[in-house]
Structure 1
Amino acid sequence: MSAPVISVESLTDTRLSDQSLASANSGGCASTSCGSSRRPDDLDPAVWDKIKDHPCFSEEAHHYFARMHVAVAPACNVQCNYCNRKYDCANESRPGVVSEKLTPDQAVRKVIAVANEVPQLSVLGIAGPGDACYDWEKTKATFERVVREIPDVKLCVSTNGLALPDHVAELAGMNVDHVTITINMVDPEVGTKIYPWIFYNRRRYVGIEAARILHERQMLGLEMLSARGILTKINSVMIPGVNDQHLIEVNKWVKQRGAFLHNVMPLISDPAHGTYYGLTGQRGPNAIEMKALQDRLQGGAKLMRHCRQCRADAVGLLGEDRGQEFTLDQIPGELTYDASKREAYRALVAEDRRDHLAARSEAIGMVKTASSGKSLLVAVATKGGGRVNEHFGHAKEFQVYEASPMGISFVGHRKVEQYCLGGWGENATLEGVIAALEGIDIVLCAKIGNCPKDQLADAGIRATDAYGYDYIETAIGAIYAAESGVPALAAIA
């Protein structure tokens, strides 16, 4: 899903759908309240202004705008059984890992370099690799310097919440509008299975006492942020057999305390990472288990389903990471911020969003009026502009949508290994792709060969390139209507 560096000339001469955007759709965080490019009627204008260009807080915006994390906060005050910050693979997306730790001054240089070359950039976050609120002086110094150089970038903090209450007033004073808190439990008994120890008030705590303190501090921090109007996203790691069922209770608690979004993420527990869970064989959930839990959470705190579990030094659109293009050795010593590319990009995005919104509304109307009572899970190969525009063999992930009598909604993504390299497809890789698409009814892509199409069919998955370069919702609406016997744009191949 890589998006190339865009010149101002290409911004004005080339459609967004072909070159400049990551995959788009128009659902929201499980509702319309944070998903469309037009402010929903039930959302306060001030809140809408905060989220409309934020790739993490708005599912629709994440296809148009990029985030950047700077790794300036290495110290941490909580040990999690799923975390080992010492392991780093540059090709892997996993929280808490970085290739370079930065000083605040180095971070500012890097932010300017990225802002000059990645016009999609709208948000700067500090997510470690330790804890941004525990390593507070570095976090604060970085934000203060960045704001002087690039005042229109949004600021975000990600934290485990233990030290958060101590810094809420300062966060508000720096106009930090968005904070993410990782909350995996509201029952300290469950917490003892996730957190071996915490460090609080210059003392190390273990067991039930550690989990109780962490829980109380997380709830206090969340309440304080809500009282100040700072939007909060709650990250929860789904750990089968540990907290998977308990996350239903977590969702209730955080909704009651004003959380804006709840993001349930799958545990990553590869033994190679050296984490406690990885070394002890604790498995992560599969895609079907993840969707089942998210479906059970419908009606609670609004869900974020487009998370990519970003690195603490991630750069670019969600689903891609261009951090290796901006290592310190590639950044000049002296830089001046040039806002022209970002301004031109935003103007082009505004136009495309209007077109996409109209197409989305038409497609959803088609689905809702169809007589079919069934649901379809559709996997889409896409690389930009909310369109079906990626070759099946080139896809590194598939965006998953559900079409039902309720409309069309984004439900998640499935990461895969690229099947086609150098013009040739690997059978073993294709088997892995098919396995990752378990439960999918239809695959949409810009192009697909007969061999993978036939093997997908043998696995009970239909695939078509008949809707190549259409808006995703337009293609899904046409397919759903055709299967319901309603005249549509085309029939599935």
Structure 2
Amino acid sequence: MEHPDIIIPVVPASGGCSASACGASARQMGGLPEAVRRKVEEHPCYSEQAHHYFARMHAAVAPACNIQCNYCNRKYDCANESRPGVVSEVLTPEQAVQRTLAVGAAIPQMSVLGIAGPGDPLANRERTFATFRLLAEKAPDIKLCVSTNGLALPECVDELSQHAIEHVTITINCVDPDIGAKIYPWIFWQHRRVRGRAAAEILIAQQQKGLEMLVARGILVKVNSVLIPGVNDGHLEEVSRIVKAKGAFLHNVMPLIAAPEHGTFYGLTGQRGPTAAELKAVQDACAGDMTMMRHCRQCRADAVGLLGEDRGAEFTLEKVAAMEIDHEAALARRLAFREQVRAELEAKRTQAATQVIALHRPPRKPLGRPVLMAVATKGNGIINEHFGYAREFLVYEASEAGVRLIGHRKTEKYCGGSETCGDGESRIDRIVRTLEGCEAVLCARIGIEPWSRLEAAGIRPDTEHAMEAIEAAVAAVWRAMLEKGELADAATERQRA
């Protein structure tokens, strides 16, 4: 008797077409014009797939901020922290353009220049738009985008549109002023400081108004929300529902960063960040109403390079001033790279339209349970990083529904430095704790000692799929686990009986 097949499509984090083809879901992409789809696919902060190929730069030209958040502490001349609001150098518009051109010459993957701080770009309106004007003249191929808290957004929408800004990110942590009062101590509004619930009411109204105005002008809007356990964790599903209804394109629920050494109010008062499981639960709850972004790295306000890496130290003002750059040749390299990637993605998209992974199974055997797997990668959508050198792991969920990215987890390199961390915990113990819930780690290579420690913790190391495409490899490992009968759960056992 022929056994029926289990059909396993390979899908991205939010469902839809193959993750090898695009980062947004079919629900999101299917109704968009081709020109808009292209905008998304080449923006690493908006497309899961694009972040494997395209680089971005944040220009730190906006030092002032018009609100105070309990999770934020802006730091200048700081190279030791990787989080929003931190920069090594605050630049003038002219310096920012000079640095952008240097980055664009050295990194042909460069496709986007964003202004995200270290304060709020629209609270530094003149500096922000001067940067955009100069860059549009010098490098018209580079996309421009802004990340804002939204307080000054409505009065800036016309100017954003005039400068051909195609992408705007608004940080919206709540739509309830009572919750907002727990997140924002004050705002600076119409030349005065407003506090408490009244401040949150004004901020929320401005954010919602600005969102509607941007959508009306055809500007793509991503909404960022910081998940703060005990404050807005039960509220973000409502935020997602409302911003989607008003036309937002993506929702990015990010974990609170609140270490005491950062000097934030939350950090100093002991407010904890969410666990990986808590973050996933909220993202999954929001995904019912909104396409979720799950590859965010919460970058510095002066980040340079692919997501997950920071090459800013290569492009200090002193180093940039010493560079000799052929701008015409640099532009040609960037354009050639983009055409190459477009052709590759189009080929994958065409293949994904008809490709499925078929799993052979015995009659009546139920589908297996979902499995989390960690992946070590340096980019390009393949498994190409040594376990010992990984500073982060992408986490994928494999199931009968397909393969989807659910997030990333930062860690310290296993190789290098002392065996123990500052708190006495060994590096491998900390990595194992970081990978809690994952049942396999896919990497290019791994040493005998970490292999043994992972196995002892119930995490299966896998180097059989080195240099293969991530999603296909994750699906293959899940299929092998299924065929070995390793994926039965309680419901499966009851069904068998």
Normalising by structure 2, report the TM-score. 0.88
Amino acid at match of 2:371: L
Is 2:391 the partner of 1:396?
A: yes
Give the alignment of 1:10-25 within 5 angstroms.
none
Which residue of structure 1 lines up, in the alignment, with residue 15 of structure 2? 31
Distance 1:319 1:83 in 2: 21
Distance 1:37 1:272 in 2: 41
Is 2:400 the partner of 1:411?
A: no
Which residue of structure 2 lines up, in the alignment, with residue 22 of structure 1? none
Which residue of structure 2 lines up, in the alignment, with residue 14 of structure 1? none
Amino acid at match of 2:97: V
**Kindly tell me: are residues 107 and 423 of structure 1, through their superposed partners in 2, closer, same or farther at Cα, counting changes over 3 Å?**
same
Is 2:89 the partner of 1:94?
A: no
Which residue of structure 2 lines up, in the alignment, with residue 198 of structure 1? 187
| TM-fit CA distance, 1:405 | 1.3
| TM-fit CA distance, 1:78 | 0.2
Give the alignment of 1:168-317 within 5 angstroms.
168-317=157-306
**1:325 aligns with one of 282, 305, 314:** 314
Q: Deviations for 1:238-283, whole angstroms, at most 9, x for unmatched residues?
A: 0011111111111111111111000000111111111101110111
Amino acid at match of 1:339: L
Which residue of structure 1 lines up, in the alignment, with residue 491 of structure 2? none
The aligned length equals: 462
| TM-fit CA distance, 1:54 | 0.5
| TM-fit CA distance, 1:92 | 2.7
Q: C-alpha root-mean-square deviation of aligned residues, in Å?
A: 2.5
Deviates further, 41-50 or 272-281: 41-50
Distance 1:182 1:34 in 2: 29
**Kindly tell me: are residues 403 and 367 of structure 1, through their superposed partners in 2, closer, same or farther at Cα, counting changes over 3 Å?**
farther
Deviates further, 196-205 or 416-425: 416-425
**Kindly tell me: are residues 271 and 87 of structure 1, through their superposed partners in 2, closer, same or farther at Cα, counting changes over 3 Å?**
farther
Distance 1:362 1:430 in 2: 42
Distance 2:262 2:281 in 1: 27
Q: Find the residue that maps to 2:358 and give its secondary structure.
A: helix
| TM-fit CA distance, 1:313 | 0.5
Distance 1:154 1:123 in 2: 5
| TM-fit CA distance, 1:357 | 4.9
| TM-fit CA distance, 1:74 | 0.8
Does the 8 Å CA contact 1:388/1:467 hold for their aligned counterparts?
yes
Does the 8 Å CA contact 1:34/1:52 hold for their aligned counterparts?
no
| TM-fit CA distance, 1:403 | 0.7
**1:375 aligns with one of 355, 362, 370:** 370
Does the 8 Å CA contact 2:53/2:341 hold for their aligned counterparts?
yes
| TM-fit CA distance, 1:484 | 2.4
Which residue of structure 1 lines up, in the alignment, with residue 6 of structure 2? none
Which residue of structure 2 lines up, in the alignment, with residue 480 of structure 1? 478
Deviates further, 89-98 or 185-194: 89-98
Q: Find the residue that maps to 2:86 and give its secondary structure.
A: coil
Distance 1:173 1:209 in 2: 32
Does the 8 Å CA contact 2:77/2:89 hold for their aligned counterparts?
no
**1:348 aligns with one of 322, 337, 340:** 340
Amino acid at match of 1:466: E
Q: Deviations for 1:206-264, whole angstroms, at most 9, x for unmatched residues?
A: 01110100010000000111111101010100001111111111111111111100000
Which residue of structure 1 lines up, in the alignment, with residue 442 of structure 2? 444
Amino acid at match of 1:340: A
Distance 2:351 2:482 in 1: 20
| TM-fit CA distance, 1:423 | 12
**Kindly tell me: are residues 204 and 213 of structure 1, through their superposed partners in 2, closer, same or farther at Cα, counting changes over 3 Å?**
same
Structure 1: segments with no counterpart, 5+ residues = 1-25, 488-493
| TM-fit CA distance, 1:332 | 2.3
Does the 8 Å CA contact 2:395/2:408 hold for their aligned counterparts?
yes
Which residue of structure 1 lines up, in the alignment, with residue 120 of structure 2? 131
Q: Find the residue that maps to 1:212 and give its secondary structure.
A: helix
Amino acid at match of 1:464: D
Q: Find the residue that maps to 1:74 and give its secondary structure.
A: coil
Q: Find the residue that maps to 1:366 and give its secondary structure.
A: strand
| TM-fit CA distance, 1:91 | 4.0
Which residue of structure 1 lines up, in the alignment, with residue 492 of structure 2? none
| TM-fit CA distance, 1:49 | 2.2
Deviates further, 315-324 or 345-354: 345-354
Does the 8 Å CA contact 1:93/1:308 hold for their aligned counterparts?
no
**Kindly tell me: are residues 117 and 274 of structure 1, through their superposed partners in 2, closer, same or farther at Cα, counting changes over 3 Å?**
same
Distance 1:180 1:231 in 2: 8
Which residue of structure 1 lines up, in the alignment, with residue 463 of structure 2? 465
**Kindly tell me: are residues 466 and 243 of structure 1, through their superposed partners in 2, closer, same or farther at Cα, counting changes over 3 Å?**
same
Distance 1:57 1:66 in 2: 12
Distance 2:170 2:189 in 1: 17
Is 2:38 the partner of 1:49?
A: yes
Amino acid at match of 1:30: S
Does the 8 Å CA contact 1:76/1:131 hold for their aligned counterparts?
yes
**1:107 aligns with one of 96, 99, 103:** 96
Does the 8 Å CA contact 1:116/1:339 hold for their aligned counterparts?
yes
**Kindly tell me: are residues 424 and 385 of structure 1, through their superposed partners in 2, closer, same or farther at Cα, counting changes over 3 Å?**
farther
Q: Which runs of 4+ in 1 moved over 6 A?
A: 358-363, 367-370, 422-427
Q: Find the residue that maps to 2:222 and give its secondary structure.
A: strand
**Kindly tell me: are residues 136 and 482 of structure 1, through their superposed partners in 2, closer, same or farther at Cα, counting changes over 3 Å?**
same
| TM-fit CA distance, 1:385 | 2.2
Does the 8 Å CA contact 1:109/1:335 hold for their aligned counterparts?
no
Does the 8 Å CA contact 1:368/1:405 hold for their aligned counterparts?
no
Is 2:380 the partner of 1:385?
A: yes
Does the 8 Å CA contact 2:171/2:225 hold for their aligned counterparts?
yes
Distance 1:296 1:121 in 2: 34
Distance 2:351 2:484 in 1: 18
Deviates further, 352-361 or 341-350: 352-361
Structure 2: segments with no counterpart, 5+ residues = 1-9, 486-497
Q: Find the residue that maps to 1:411 and give its secondary structure.
A: strand
**Kindly tell me: are residues 282 and 34 of structure 1, through their superposed partners in 2, closer, same or farther at Cα, counting changes over 3 Å?**
farther
